[in-house]
């Protein structure tokens, strides 16, 4: 279902690389609404210019995809980008876009990706919530401050990688070496057809020490056991494993979520890692000997054992419960140059959400050899 509306741009209120946030006066003389324009798709609309909008999610007041989107500028045709390749993303939609993919035969990186056999033990941190990205980086940097980090933006949520203001700010601050948009996602520094080729590109083109794989903003959940977009985390961990990486699964944890199914350990982690995952992974938790260990962390540990380790073991998958020192992580999180929020809650309001994501980052950094680089990262051992 599409709902079309026309309007005139009254202001460009903010911009970040690839994205412009606009105010648009609707033609029917009614509302002034906020809208997003992606430069790759429609260029930059200017004040006074007429635009055609898709407002279906806005009118439904949805959290996921709930912005008005500029679909066209009837009076302006943006100049075509200089793309050599023939890869198409957002395929067979009216907004399908051509990209230069790492694995396109016309790419300068094609032979590198084609000849690569694996990712040389590179640690790969996977999470289901995009809000985990800066926290994971904080955890990595708390142990390896100069590690080269690549972020693989998957296609389970926001398809335009540019939509992530956090990723843009992390790139500007040199805390991310590269953003690679994988699958139907588009608009990263580099493009890849699959998560697998994105990981090969992260290792052999970007020279990353660690890769982080997460869907973009806009996680979709239904309250059912299997109906949530974050289930894709299991497939990303499979990709890391088959390519010879060291997979680290971020536990989705909350001490403040009002929904019981997400309090403590989220049922999304239980399903993705306990029921959908077919390869062993590291599951980072706080050691019982840590001075910060309390009843909440004990409860999370018990949930992990009951809903992830035991069901996985019954299927022959032996995950590794990995104890990771939490010392200094609060300071590392507070030093990050992006505002920490998850599901509308800040670092102060739901610290465990960010703490466990940072644990995953520190765990991955601990798998790197002391001399730097990613060769030698260890695969999980059974718990």
Residues 84-139 have pLDDT tens digits of: 878 999 999 999 999 999 999 999 999 999 999 999 999 999 999 999 999 999 99
What is the tens place of the pLDDT at every residue in 194-249?
999 999 999 999 999 999 999 999 888 888 889 999 999 999 999 999 999 999 99
| Cα gap 312→329, rounded to integer Å | 29
> Taking the model in full, what pTM does it have?
0.94
What pLDDT is attached to residue 229?
A: 93
Contact yes or no for 110/104 (Cβ under 8 A): yes
What is the tens place of the pLDDT at every residue in 338-370?
988 888 889 989 999 999 999 999 999 999 997
Local confidence band at 383 (pLDDT 50, 70, 90 cut-offs): very low
Q: Taking residues 280-304, what's their average pLDDT?
A: 95
Domains of the chain: residue spans and CATH:
4-72 (2.40.50.220), 110-366 (3.40.50)
Q: Which residues contact 129 (CB under 8 A, 6 or more apart)?
A: 214, 219, 230, 252, 342, 343
Local confidence band at 311 (pLDDT 50, 70, 90 cut-offs): very high
């Amino acid at each position: 279902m599409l709902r079309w509306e026309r309007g005139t741009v009254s202001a460009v209120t903010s911009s970040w690389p690839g994205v412009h946030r606009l105010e648009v006066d609707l033609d029917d003389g009614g509302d002034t609404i906020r809208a997003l324009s992606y430069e790759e798709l429609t260029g930059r609309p200017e004040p006074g210019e007429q635009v055609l909008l898709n407002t279906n999610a806005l009118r439904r007041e949805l959290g996921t995809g709930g912005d008005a989107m500029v679909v066209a500028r009837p009076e302006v045709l943006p100049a075509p980008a200089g793309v050599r390749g023939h890869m198409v993303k957002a395929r067979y939609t009216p907004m399908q876009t051509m990209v230069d993919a790492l694995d396109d035969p016309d790419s300068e990186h094609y032979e590198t990706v084609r000849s690569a056999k694996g990712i040389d033990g590179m640690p790969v941190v996977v999470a289901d919530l995009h809000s985990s990205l800066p926290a994971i980086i904080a955890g990595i940097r708390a142990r390896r401050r100069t590690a080269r980090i690549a972020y693989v933006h998957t296609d389970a949520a926001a398809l335009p990688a540019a939509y992530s203001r956090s990723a843009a700010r992390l790139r500007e601050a040199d805390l991310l070496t590269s953003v690679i948009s994988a699958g139907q996602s588009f608009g990263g520094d580099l493009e890849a057809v699959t998560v697998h080729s994105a990981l090969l590109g992260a290792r052999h083109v970007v020279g990353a020490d660690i890769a982080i794989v997460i869907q973009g903003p806009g996680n979709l959940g239904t309250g059912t056991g299997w109906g949530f977009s974050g289930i894709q985390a299991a497939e990303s961990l499979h990709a890391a494993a088959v390519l010879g990486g060291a997979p680290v699964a971020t536990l989705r944890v909350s001490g403040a979520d009002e929904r019981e199914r997400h309090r403590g350990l989220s049922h999304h982690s239980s399903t993705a890692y306990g029921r959908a995952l077919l390869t062993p992974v590291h599951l980072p938790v706080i050691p019982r000997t840590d001075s910060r260990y309390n009843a909440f962390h004990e409860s999370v540990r018990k949930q992990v054992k009951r809903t992830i380790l035991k069901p996985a073991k019954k299927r022959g998958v032996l995950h590794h419960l990995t104890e990771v020192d939490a010392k200094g992580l609060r300071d590392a999180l507070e030093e990050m140059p992006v505002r920490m929020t998850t599901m509308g809650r800040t670092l102060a309001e739901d610290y465990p959400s960010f703490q466990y994501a940072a644990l995953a980052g520190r765990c991955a950094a601990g798998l790197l050899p002391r001399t730097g680089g990613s060769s030698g990262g260890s695969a999980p051992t059974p718990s």
